[in-house]
Amino acid sequence: MKHGLKRLCGAGALLLPLSVWLPVMAQQGPVVEDLRDQPRSFLDQTEVREEAGGSLVIFNQVQQHEEQLRQLRGQVEELRHQLEQLRRQTRQQYLDLDERLMAGSAGIEASPEVDDATARQVAETPSPSGTSADTQAAYQAAFAHVQSREFAEAIRAFEGFVAEHPDSSLTANGYYWLGELHSAEANLAEAEAAFRRVIDDFPDSSKLPDALYKLGLVKARQGEPEASRELLERVRDDYPDTSAAGLATDFLRQSL
Radius of gyration over every alpha carbon of the chain, rounded to an integer in angstroms: 49
CA distances in angstroms from 220 to 30, 80, 87, 93, listed in the order given = 99, 22, 12, 11
Q: Residue 97 is part of which domain span?
A: 89-255
* pLDDT (0 to 100) of residue 105: 39
Amino acid at residue number 9: C
Higher pLDDT, 149 or 117: 149
For the chain, the domain total comes to 1
What is the spatial distance between Cα 115 and Cα 127, in angstroms, rounded to a whole number? 21
Task: Please give the distance of CA 160 from its chain centroid, rounded to a whole number.
Answer: 36
Asked if residue 81 is part of any domain, the answer here is no
Asked if residue 181 is part of any domain, the answer here is yes
Label residue 51 by pLDDT band (50, 70, 90): low
Label residue 77 by pLDDT band (50, 70, 90): confident
Asked if residue 5 is part of any domain, the answer here is no
Mean pLDDT of 244-254: 91
Do the beta carbons of residue 198 and residue 211 sit within 8 Å?
yes
DSSP state of 38: S
* pLDDT (0 to 100) of residue 112: 43
Asked if residue 218 is part of any domain, the answer here is yes
Asked if residue 241 is part of any domain, the answer here is yes
- What tens digit of pLDDT does each residue of 162-180 get? 999 999 999 999 999 999 9
- Classify burial at 179, counting beta carbons within 10 Å of its beta carbon; exposed 0-12, middle 13-18, buried 19 or more: buried
CA distances in angstroms from 242 to 26, 85, 152, 228, 239, listed in the order given = 126, 36, 30, 18, 6
Is cis: bond before 39, omega within 30 of 0?
A: no
* pLDDT (0 to 100) of residue 192: 97
* pLDDT (0 to 100) of residue 194: 97
Mean pLDDT of 106-121: 43
217 HSE (CA, 13 A, CB side): 36
Higher pLDDT, 81 or 51: 81
DSSP state of 30: -
Asked if residue 83 is part of any domain, the answer here is no
Asked if residue 53 is part of any domain, the answer here is no
Write out the DSSP string of 173-220.
Answer: HHHHHHHHHHHHTT-HHHHHHHHHHHHHH-TT-TTHHHHHHHHHHHHH
Q: Report the candidate in 182, 245, 185, 186 with the shortest Cα–Cα distance to residue 210.
A: 245
User: In CATH, what number is assigned to the domain containing residue 163?
Assistant: 1.25.40.10
* pLDDT (0 to 100) of residue 45: 55
Asked if residue 202 is part of any domain, the answer here is yes
Mean pLDDT of 210-225: 94
- What tens digit of pLDDT does each residue of 7-49 get? 544 544 444 444 444 454 445 444 444 545 555 555 455 555 5
